[in-house]
Amino acid sequence: MSTHDHIPVLLGPTVDALLHNPDGIYLDCTFGRGGHSRAILERLSPVGRLLALDRDPQAVQAMTGVLDARFQGYRSAFADLERALDAMGVPKVDGVLMDIGVSSPQIDQAERGFSFRKDGPLDMRMDPQAGESAADFLARATARDISEVIKHYGEERFAVQIAAAIVARRQERAITTTLDLAQIVAGAVRTREPGQDPATRTFQALRIHVNQELAQLEQGLNAAFRRLNIGGRLAVISFHSLEDRIAKQFIEKLANPKSQQDARLRKLPLPEPKPLMKKLARIKPDAQECERNPRARSSVLRVAEKLAEVAHG
């Protein structure tokens, strides 16, 4: 797959919402194959800058194809964006974009182990050099641990049955390929929504667990807020309810701090806590985009603007 074959989701609305100052410095935390980054560069002025991060080595390699003096790429998970910005000598930015989850090239390459439709090693790591693979996790984890991961991250109602089937199979032989796991799951899932593969939720859950995606998102959101300039924009694209809930709650907490106060404090004659962010938009793809790119169907874009720093003292 070439760099340009990946179709970025919600491209126009994202760039429109994020890029409020063409002279500013922007951070694309999830470069992928560079679709959003290239669109941002097209809108930047000659003095604007774009920084990009990714922990996937193939995405980092794709960064070398961006031949623009305003662009700088760096290999990093977005949870570590502050360390990356320090390494690039940038204290603050005017916009941060996070496109959460797995990218189309990662899914489409069987050797990455993300797809239940293509046979490949059961890996699922976004950075193949960090952490344990899905196969390693399934080889060592208890049935209870496997069940909790599949239930929590996949919202799978047959999690107990799937975990039991995995443990039973690994006593016969190791589970090392994606189709191995998909077949085990298919045998344990009794019913499924029309059009959805029985393995969808289990693969999603294992991918989130292996890559610690929800913890990464929470850390990244907090880091992004700290590094945004006043008036800077945060744009988060998510693809399922667990991610979207984290982004929604993070923005809500900062946009409506009074709602986070203890009920007893709200009754006292204290100064109103000032909002630190303003909610700007919640955008879903239109019918035309969903038809052109079916993977966009579940996506949600949330955008907020930073109003103030956290008060200390």
Q: Lowest-confidence range among 2-11, 38-47, 120-129, 268-277?
A: 2-11
13 closest CA partner among 305, 303, 239, 257: 303
In SS3 terms, 172-212 reads as CCCCCEHHHHHHHHHHHCCCCCCCCCCCHHHHHHHHHHHHC
Q: How many angstroms separate the first and last alpha carbons of the chain?
A: 52
pLDDT of residue 1: 33
Domain that holds residue 170: 107-211
Domain final residue, candidates 183, 211, 239: 211
- My answer on whether 49 and 71 are in the same domain is yes
CATH code assigned at 259 = 3.40.50.150
Q: Lowest-confidence range among 49-58, 243-252, 259-268, 289-298?
A: 259-268
- My answer on whether 155 and 23 are in the same domain is no
pLDDT at residue 197 greater than cutoff 90 = no
- My answer on whether 219 and 179 are in the same domain is no
Q: What is the pTM of this model?
A: 0.87
Whether residue 72 is annotated as binding a ligand: the answer is no
CA distance 94 to 163: 45
224 closest CA partner among 96, 133, 126: 96
Going by pLDDT thresholds of 50, 70 and 90, the confidence category of residue 2 is very low
Domain final residue, candidates 157, 182, 211: 211
Number of domains in the chain: 2
Q: Is residue 86 part of a domain?
A: yes
Q: Is residue 313 part of a domain?
A: no
pLDDT of residue 264: 61
- My answer on whether 28 and 99 are in the same domain is yes
Whether residue 86 is annotated as binding a ligand: the answer is no
Domain final residue, candidates 195, 211, 227: 211
pLDDT of residue 111: 54
- My answer on whether 273 and 262 are in the same domain is yes
pLDDT at residue 188 greater than cutoff 80 = yes
pLDDT per residue as tens digits for the range 258-299: 776 665 655 666 667 789 999 999 999 999 999 998 888 889
C-alpha distances in Å from residue 127, one per residue of 98, 102, 131, 143, 243: 17, 12, 8, 26, 20
Supply the mean pLDDT for the chain: 88
- My answer on whether 81 and 160 are in the same domain is no
Q: Is residue 6 part of a domain?
A: no
Share of the chain above pLDDT 70, in %: 87
Going by pLDDT thresholds of 50, 70 and 90, the confidence category of residue 7 is confident
Q: Is residue 75 part of a domain?
A: yes
Burial, 108: exposed, middle or buried (Cβ in 10 Å; 0-12, 13-18, 19+)?
A: middle
pLDDT of residue 112: 55
Q: What is the arithmetic mean of pLDDT over 150-175? A: 95
- My answer on whether 196 and 219 are in the same domain is no
- My answer on whether 217 and 94 are in the same domain is yes
CATH code assigned at 171 = 1.10.150.170
Whether residue 99 is annotated as binding a ligand: the answer is yes
Q: Is residue 5 part of a domain?
A: no
Whether residue 106 is annotated as binding a ligand: the answer is yes
Which tops the pLDDT comparison, 3 or 179? 179
Q: Is residue 100 part of a domain?
A: yes
Q: For residues 300 and 283, is the Cβ–Cβ distance under 8 A?
A: yes
pLDDT per residue as tens digits for the range 199-227: 889 999 999 999 998 999 999 999 999 99
- My answer on whether 100 and 217 are in the same domain is yes
- My answer on whether 207 and 230 are in the same domain is no
Whether residue 54 is annotated as binding a ligand: the answer is yes
- My answer on whether 192 and 231 are in the same domain is no
pLDDT of residue 219: 96
pLDDT of residue 4: 40
Whether residue 35 is annotated as binding a ligand: the answer is yes
Whether residue 73 is annotated as binding a ligand: the answer is no
pLDDT per residue as tens digits for the range 64-123: 999 999 999 999 989 999 999 999 999 999 999 999 866 555 555 555 555 666 678 898
pLDDT per residue as tens digits for the range 18-33: 999 999 999 999 998 8
Q: Is residue 177 part of a domain?
A: yes
CA distance 97 to 99: 7
